[in-house]
């Protein structure tokens, strides 16, 4: 527990990497919402593996099948369910993980939790593959938000110690967002592409992997959305983001850098712009004051650890023999997961913000 998240836009995920299907139930999509399958497939393809030389060659077939909640191309308002059939089982690749606990993975912690009954093949329910259904729902959420002129985008903020620039007023626009969506290594500063690509290929050749950070922004959200304390926008977004395997940190606006600022620097001063719209001169708070949006872009950055699956020899334990044991992980692995995590991050941002908006909009319709 719990496989269910959300207050008004509620999702329930299920499935294991090597089970028969993975999928999701979405409860709360407004009736009449047009479901554009093309843009759903487009988003899901961004997450799919095997698209280029920096991604694992395993070829999953992520063809989503909607089995409830749609009638004549539109959401009925009843629960919308999507399943994906798992095709690429080859479970022999994973037989060794039954007894040897892979470092960085949930093998040991989940085995303790479930008393050994968990499906250990390919991380089972803990597989990154379970994020595919999140991208499916995120694509629907994006469609709904875009009708309200709310747009979400993200880019690689860093790989190892190589940094991209941060989002700024110049880059927070639809053209840039469109470009970022198409790139296999979405960067604001394209000159960093080559060195990052080289680092990835190096790690791949050494059987190692790389981490980094992702910056995400939501533009177009009006002031006054979100709640104090337990349902602050930060609380809602972070609770969902930490559901994404490999996320180990989140900061809003200037985040950890903000901790080094004086109050006089960190405070985002308000002003009326030429159109008499309230804005802030800086956006260190990432568009959120007291848990509630202030009308500036929502900005947050995630720390993504390097994929735990590497080919290099590692030390670990064998629970069967109850002894320490070195091992090498067979199979092909992603040397970096960030490009594939990016659509998941955007999906979770879309789901979070849409849920906040639907909660916020509650009032008697009459």
- Number of Cβ within a 10 Å radius of residue 302: 26
Pick from 59, 63, 90, 112: which binds a second copy (CB under 8 A)? Answer: 112
Closest to a second copy by CB, 175 vs 364, is 364
To a second copy, the closest distance from the beta carbon of 168 in angstroms equals 19
Q: What are the C-alpha distances in Å from 173 to residues 127, 225, 301? A: 34, 21, 18
Closest to a second copy by CB, 112 vs 178, is 112
Between CA 11 and CA 192 the distance in angstroms is 37
Residue 35 interacts with a second copy (CB under 8 A): yes or no: no
How crowded is the C-beta side of 188, counted as CA atoms within 13 Å? 21
Least Cα distance to 131 among 311, 351, 353 occurs for 351
Element (H, E) at 200: helix 193-205
Closest to a second copy by CB, 138 vs 245, is 245
DSSP-assigned letter for residue 226: B
Which span sits near a second copy by CB under 8 A: 38-46, 170-178, 210-218, 339-347?
A: 210-218
186 contact partners, CB below 8 Å, separation of at least 6 = 154, 155, 156, 179, 180, 339, 342
Between CA 296 and CA 270 the distance in angstroms is 11
Q: What are the C-alpha distances in Å from 309 to residues 37, 72, 270? A: 32, 43, 47
> Is residue 163 classed as helix, strand or coil in its secondary structure?
strand
To a second copy, the closest distance from the beta carbon of 218 in angstroms equals 14
Closest to a second copy by CB, 39 vs 243, is 243
Q: Tokens standing for 51? A: 């698209």
Residue 182 interacts with a second copy (CB under 8 A): yes or no: no
Between CA 320 and CA 121 the distance in angstroms is 16
To a second copy, the closest distance from the beta carbon of 121 in angstroms equals 8
Pick from 44, 56, 122, 125: which binds a second copy (CB under 8 A)? Answer: 125
Pick from 48, 101, 196, 298: which binds a second copy (CB under 8 A)? Answer: 101
DSSP-assigned letter for residue 10: E
To a second copy, the closest distance from the beta carbon of 98 in angstroms equals 11
Closest to a second copy by CB, 50 vs 224, is 224
Scan residues 41-80 and list those touching a second copy (CB under 8 A): 65, 67-71, 74-80
Element (H, E) at 135: helix 132-146
Q: What are the C-alpha distances in Å from 319 to residues 101, 107, 322, 337? A: 8, 11, 5, 28
To a second copy, the closest distance from the beta carbon of 193 in angstroms equals 18
Closest to a second copy by CB, 182 vs 281, is 281
Scan residues 185-204 and list those touching a second copy (CB under 8 A): 203
Element (H, E) at 42: helix 37-47
To a second copy, the closest distance from the beta carbon of 125 in angstroms equals 4
Pick from 47, 55, 126, 171: which binds a second copy (CB under 8 A)? Answer: 126
Residue 291 interacts with a second copy (CB under 8 A): yes or no: yes
Residue 10 interacts with a second copy (CB under 8 A): yes or no: yes
Closest to a second copy by CB, 57 vs 261, is 261
Element (H, E) at 13: strand 10-15
Residue 28 interacts with a second copy (CB under 8 A): yes or no: yes
Pick from 247, 344, 345, 350: which binds a second copy (CB under 8 A)? Answer: 247
The site string for a second copy over 248-287 (x = CB under 8 A, - otherwise) reads xxxxxxxxx-xxxxxxxxxxxxxxx---x-x-xx--xxx-
Scan residues 304-343 and list those touching a second copy (CB under 8 A): 304-310, 312, 314-317, 322-324
Scan residues 214-243 and list those touching a second copy (CB under 8 A): 222-232, 234-236, 238-240, 242-243
Between CA 129 and CA 137 the distance in angstroms is 14
Pick from 40, 47, 94, 118: which binds a second copy (CB under 8 A)? Answer: 118
Between CA 64 and CA 128 the distance in angstroms is 16
Q: What angle do CA 122, 124, 129 make, to 5 degrees?
A: 75
């Amino acid at each position: 527990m719990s496989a269910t998240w959300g207050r008004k836009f509620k999702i329930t995920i299920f499935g294991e990497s090597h089970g028969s299907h993975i999928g999701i139930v979405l409860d709360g999509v407004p009736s009449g919402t047009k479901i554009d399958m093309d843009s759903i497939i487009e988003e899901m393809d961004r997450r799919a593996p095997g698209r280029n030389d920096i991604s694992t060659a395993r070829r999953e077939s992520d063809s989503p099948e909607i089995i409830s909640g749609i009638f004549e191309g539109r959401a009925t308002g009843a629960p919308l369910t999507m399943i994906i059939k798992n095709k690429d089982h080859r479970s022999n690749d994973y037989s060794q993980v039954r007894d040897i606990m892979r470092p960085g993975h949930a093998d040991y912690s989940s085995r303790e939790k479930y008393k050994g009954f968990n499906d250990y093949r390919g991380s089972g329910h803990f597989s990154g593959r379970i994020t595919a259904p999140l991208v499916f729902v995120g694509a629907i959420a994006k469609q709904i938000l875009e009708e309200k002129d709310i747009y979400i985008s993200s880019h690689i903020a860093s790989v190892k110690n190589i940094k991209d620039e941060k989002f700024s007023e110049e880059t927070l626009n639809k053209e840039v967002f469109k470009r970022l969506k198409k790139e296999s290594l979405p960067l604001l500063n394209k000159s960093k592409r080559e060195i990052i690509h080289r680092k990835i290929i190096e790690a791949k050749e050494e059987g190692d992997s790389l981490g980094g950070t992702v910056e995400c922004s939501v533009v177009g959200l009006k002031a006054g959305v979100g709640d104090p304390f337990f349902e602050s926008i930060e609380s809602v977004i972070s609770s969902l983001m930490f559901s994404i395997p490999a996320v180990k940190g989140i900061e809003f606006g200037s985040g950890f850098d903000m901790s080094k600022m004086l109050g006089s620097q960190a405070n985002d001063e308000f002003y009326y712009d030429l159109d008499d719209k309230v804005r802030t001169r800086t956006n260190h708070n990432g568009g959120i004051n007291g848990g509630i949006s202030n009308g500036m872009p929502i900005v947050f950055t995630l720390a993504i650890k390097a994929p735990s699956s590497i080919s290099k020899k590692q030390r670990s334990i064998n629970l069967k023999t109850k002894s320490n044991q070195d091992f090498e992980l067979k199979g092909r692995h992603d040397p970096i997961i960030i490009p594939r995590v990016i659509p998941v991050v955007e999906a979770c941002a879309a789901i979070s913000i849409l849920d906040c908006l639907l909660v916020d909009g509650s009032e008697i319709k009459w």
